[in-house]
Amino acid sequence: MQVMAPPAMSGLDAVAIAIRKEFGWKRTQAAGIELWTKGYGRVADPKRLARDMSALGALSAGRRLSDFLLGLDGHFAFAARGAGWALAVVDRVRSIPVAFAESKDGAIIDDQAERLRSRLGLDDIDSDAALALAMAGYTIDIATLYKGIEQLGPGEFVLFRNGEVPRRERYYTYRPWRADKPTYNATKARKALAETTLSIIDEMMKGIGDRELVVPLSAGRDSRLIVSAAKQLGYENVRTFAYGRRGNHEAAASKAIAERLGYPWRFVATDTGFMRRHYASEDWRAYNAFADTLQSVPFVQDLPQVQVLKRDGYLPEDAVLCNGNSGDFISGNHVVPPMDEIPDGQTPQQRMDRITGTLYSKHFSLWSALRTGENERRVRDAIGASIIRASAELGDPQDDFGIYEYAEFQDRQCKFVITGQRIYEYLGHEWRLPLWDNAYLDFFEKVPLAGKRGQNIYAGMLEDENWGGVWQGLPVNRKTIQPAWVRPLRWLAKAVYAPLGRDAWHRFEKRYFQYWMELGSHSAIRPYREVVACRDGARHGISWLTRHYLESHSVGLHADLKSAA
């Protein structure tokens, strides 16, 4: 729990809700409460929500409010004001961000963090947050790029009451370190997961009604799960699409899956020129302004592709978008070595070092020039502090992987990956996140390492059930080199570099060929000549997107990231 310093509050008007009626936000006045809501589930009936909140009485910050929030389903955010109090809440995965800050006149709640920062004239950069952003694309724990701006984290609320210190608390924490090992049985777990999955997809499709569910369909498991489960349940109001370079493996597998299921499929060719034009567009700049949480680089996965499909009439105006976010993570595929093994004979400090070191190695590598000993210390100290704030204490060594998972969940997943839903909102569409449903969180929170290693339960369940007949005979993530013109040049260069060793070849390939081979072509935000000339060691296109984002906030990649200490 974090207790904030009290703002200068003199009454109800000392807390302002600056949210606007845009991008899905709705305002309701009921039961003596001003209520701003966004999302689906319980919040879709704001008058009922207002009545339920009114029944809580004075809105205690104790268990009564937390229990009420835990009982809410769907994905949502809301802000409310009543007699002498104000409240802001996000769901368990922070699918919809909410920011707040203090001013000389009191507190302000807004969904647009950058708009709030500009309103208050805050310009003091948090150098540790900027460093994490530069190295990973997101900040650590509650940090934002600017001091003075707060963002609610997954499963959090902030409560303002007259005459009291505002309280920011967690009503929910994802705790995969509390796995249910004694009762674990792989066969039973797979059956239980199949039932849970079908129930979630069925509930989602019923909620959508006659509207079309539109799924960006890849070669992986997650989006395939969504469409195959919908087919298994008999739903036909589904259509799919894929994108990338012509002839890419993702599109070929996607088309084969859609054809076998009998769902419509469309391909949007996405080459370097396509993305260059997108990054030069006003739409790109406007989307970035809207999606800027000050905690991560805006997620850009399929914005221009969905725009093309809308323009061509493939997406109905009331279509609901649903990507596979993020069965890949929650099912265990991100539990990488050495976290996929149980530590033996290590001290508690060695075990914690193993956790923070693995997180640092896997995620904080967008720019090799920033991977210094001092920067590693700063990042790992911040990760360790965030783990302590979550009360994630080391217990059974078999559960260490769960602490590692939690840290990625609260930062990379909930700040960066999940916020791709802003794309659909910006384009005027609703979205769904069935693989982040409360029931999925509850299920996978209890799965031990044996069930997550190699996605044992998840992958095994999908192959066993074979919904729609698309889990046997169709490849998962089989890759090919595209575009075709790169292949002979790449083979020739590889032959020349072979005597120099694998590492030398990979450095050369990344520097000179990756720009043209990236599936999403995100490096195209910068000219090829600049990418080739750069000596800072960009990992991939997200590195350049992150650099562009920081520069938009007048933060350089080196000098502005130095510790204030």
For the segment 115-155, what is each residue's pLDDT rounded down to a tens digit?
A: 999 999 999 999 999 999 999 999 999 999 999 999 999 99
Going by pLDDT thresholds of 50, 70 and 90, the confidence category of residue 1 is very low
- For residue 542, pLDDT beyond 50: yes
Give pairs for 41-49: CB < 8 Å, separation 24+.
Answer: 41/72, 41/73, 41/74, 41/75, 41/76, 42/72, 42/73, 42/74, 42/76, 43/72, 43/74, 43/76, 43/78, 44/74, 46/78, 49/78
**Letter for the amino acid at 213?**
L
Does the predicted TM-score (pTM) go above 0.75?
A: yes
Going by pLDDT thresholds of 50, 70 and 90, the confidence category of residue 477 is low
Lowest mean pLDDT among 235-244, 281-290, 401-410, 480-489: 480-489
pLDDT (tens digit per residue) in 486-541? 888 888 888 888 788 888 888 888 888 888 988 889 999 999 999 999 999 999 99
For 208-226, what is the mean pLDDT?
A: 96
**What pLDDT does 59 receive?**
63
Note the helical H segments in 234-338.
Answer: 249-261, 272-279, 282-291, 303-311, 327-328
Beta bridge partners of 532: none
**Proportion of the chain above pLDDT 70, given as a percent:** 95
pLDDT (tens digit per residue) in 176-200? 998 877 778 999 999 999 999 999 9
- For residue 2, pLDDT beyond 70: no
Pull the structure tokens for residue 338.
């050495």
Average pLDDT, the chain: 92
- For residue 61, pLDDT beyond 80: no
How far apart, in whole angstroms, are the C-alpha atoms of residue 141 and residue 332?
21
How far apart, in whole angstroms, are the C-alpha atoms of residue 388 and residue 394?
10
Pull the structure tokens for residue 151.
């963002």
- Cα-based distances in Å from 201 to 76, 309, 322: 18, 24, 11
Structural domains for the chain: 2-126+137-170 (3.60.20), 186-330+419-469 (3.40.50.620), 336-411 (no CATH), 486-559 (no CATH)
- For residue 481, pLDDT beyond 60: yes
**What pLDDT does 67 receive?**
92
How far apart, in whole angstroms, are the C-alpha atoms of residue 223 and residue 470?
12
**What pLDDT does 3 receive?**
38
